[in-house]
Amino acid sequence: MKELSGKAYAKINLYLGVHGLRPDGYHELETVFQTVELCDLVAVSLHRRGGISLRCSLPYLPTDGRNLAVKAVELFFRETGLENPGLNLNIKKNIPVGAGLAGGSTDAACVLRMLNRLFGMPLREEKLASVALTLGADVPFCLRGGTALAGGVGEKLHSLPPMPECAVVIAKPGFSVSTKAAFALYDQTERGETRPGAPLLAALAEGDLGGVCRGLYNGLEAPVAGQYPQIERLRVRLLELGAVGARMTGSGSAVYGIFDGTEQADKAAEALRRELRFVAVTRPLARLWE
């Protein structure tokens, strides 16, 4: 086997509670991750020229060691002690950048997974996850996918019942928000109490889509939307178009709306495409790997 290709799936946050600063300077998080079908296409192939070559469909993204996918390759060979015979990476980006959808993290996770297969599974699942964590807090989740409760900085994962069947419309305004900027805004903003995640977890256990939508929460949303009011306008617009619930995902700037069915989601997406450059209709996915 000299070539592999795969799908690197995006995630949304059904719940994101921020619980203050840790001694290491990061924020303690409680979040519910959900994989969706929206994905980048990633291919890895061997060549005999040595080194790492990355081609990406977005010309403005770095293709050197600043790219998480390249960092994943370097880390894989460092951790396994294997020699890099020369690798080509090819990434077709469908997940928007700077949107809170884990676009870079999921590409890195997909590369790690494929390299492990390509070289005979030298890293066991637990080791692969610990390696992934050094690339980013949400990379371990992107390795496994599905529906999961995460703690710590996002790395302590516990599987949850799958999200009820629904359609998800993801829309991104014409700007991006970095994770660092979002948490800086959070730290600068006076906040009320964090909404508890227990109602959403209970709704997932019962397969209650309405309850899931009532439990949606993102503690970063109000501070970020205070700086970027387009986010709140987009959330309200999704509700006006029939979404049962809508929230910003991650640190933004993308906003998602959950719909009972695909027909209504398609109509909402059609309306939004007159206003925004990026709009996608997708669905939740169950766990990718056991």
Q: Which of 71, 93, 107, 138 is catalytic?
A: 138
Of 117, 100, 171, 113, whose CA–CA distance to 145 is shortest? Answer: 113
Pairing of strands 245-248, 255-259: antiparallel
What is the chain's alpha carbon radius of gyration, rounded to the nearest angstrom? 19
CA distance 185 to 245: 24
What tokens were used for 98? 């700077």
Active site (annotated) includes residue 260: no
The sign one gets for the Cα dihedral 183, 185, 187, 192 is negative
Pairing of strands 255-259, 167-172: antiparallel
Active site (annotated) includes residue 208: no
Q: Which of 2, 11, 93, 172 is catalytic?
A: 11
Q: Which residues are catalytic?
A: 11, 138
